[in-house]
Amino acid sequence: MSATTLRLQGDTSYDVVVGHHLTDRLPALLGDGVVRVAVIHPTAMADRARALRHALDAAGFAAHGIEVPDGETAKTARVAEFCWSVLGQAGFTRSDAVVTLGGGSATDLGGFVAATWLRGVEVVHVPTTLLGMVDAAVGGKTGINTDEGKNLVGSFHHPAGVLCDLSTLETLPRNELVSGMAEVVKCGFIADPEILSIVERSPATAMRVGSEEQRELVERAIQVKLDVVAGDFKETGGAAGHPGREALNYGHTLGHAIERAESYRYRHGAAISIGMVFVAELARLAGRLDDVTAARHADLLSAVGLPTSYDGAPWGDLLASMRLDKKSRGDLLRFVVLEGVARPVVLEGPSTDLLEQAFAAVRPRTPR
């Protein structure tokens, strides 16, 4: 099957290519004038990064490897400083480029390094996880974590292009595939009901690597993000009451608090899944969402193997962490909720009692 090219339209345009064995597309995305290319990758991707560097060398580039820790542990100021040091020692100029290879953490970190080196050099993302393909690699958000929270330091920096090589999913651990489905399902709830229908018709087929359904889900989720970002790149707000880019944070306020509480050992998709069940219940209790759609969240997420309850950090700790969320304004907590499928809105300042009631819905029930 041939590759599919999805394009971000706007002041800055770029292509997201979805298909199999796409390495030969990389030179064209890097463009003319690039001499040096830094491949930023986690330790787990060392073999693939080596092969990618050889391909870049063969195409006439001077490829350098920058190996960083696996997962969220890479997203620190210290690791970013290490990457900047390598770029400096290798003589990277504004006409050179960065390539990220790996999951969402490598994309977030590598994108941030590219955005800040000489105030911005080109970056091409080559995500190797489902989560990276449908979320981190698309949209131009970059970031690192601090002790106070996730992605609190970052910048907006569009990539020159994205290569989503579906063949990399063939060796992806099952739990990583499940984690990525949270962002796919999120796109269904906030914008594209057909995503939900595809998953509900056959969760097993939707999860099967190589299936036409999985590819359609990937392409649909990417298109949702491209459409939202095109209308609101820097998260300043959408039109006609739509929350704009904030809608992509559906379920993320509690999700990020859980990740922080668990020292980022909890998978992103698992945390976001719980966060979506929480905000669905919050919307129901606030009179914004009907019972059936609220219940649909837990049913659909659990069907693909995602958790819908959480028995970890105390509620008070999570609430304090949520107050540092990027959507908050002063002391005012703000949540993206639904008034129906594909009808996201912002709920401002819900009472502490209402929040605690909604959180009770994601606490495991004690057997009688």
Top-level CATH class of 4-171?
alpha beta
- Rounded Cα distance between 245 and 232, Å, is 6
183 is in an annotated binding site: yes
* Tens digit of each residue's pLDDT, the chain (368 residues): 789 999 998 778 999 999 999 999 999 999 889 999 999 999 999 999 999 999 999 999 999 999 999 999 999 999 999 999 999 999 999 999 999 999 999 999 999 999 999 999 999 999 999 999 999 999 999 999 998 888 889 999 999 999 999 999 999 999 999 999 999 999 999 999 999 999 999 999 999 999 999 999 999 999 999 999 998 888 888 776 789 999 999 999 999 999 999 999 999 999 999 999 999 999 999 999 999 999 999 999 999 999 999 999 999 999 999 998 766 766 789 999 999 999 999 999 999 999 999 999 999 875 44
219 is in an annotated binding site: no
71 is in an annotated binding site: yes
128 is in an annotated binding site: yes
- Rounded Cα distance between 146 and 42, Å, is 19
Give the CATH number of domain 174-360.
1.20.1090.10
129 is in an annotated binding site: yes
73 is in an annotated binding site: yes
239 is in an annotated binding site: no
Are the C-beta atoms of residues 99 and 124 closer than 8 Å to each other?
yes
4-171 matches 174-360 in fold: no
C-alpha separations of 129 from 135, 342, 344, 355 in Å: 10, 25, 27, 33
Tokens 């929040």 correspond to: 355
171 is in an annotated binding site: yes
- Rounded Cα distance between 259 and 263, Å, is 6
Q: Quick one: tokens of 36?
A: 């040096």
356 is in an annotated binding site: no
Domain borders along the chain are 4-171, 174-360
348 is in an annotated binding site: no
236 is in an annotated binding site: no
12 is in an annotated binding site: no
327 is in an annotated binding site: no
Are the C-beta atoms of residues 157 and 12 closer than 8 Å to each other?
no
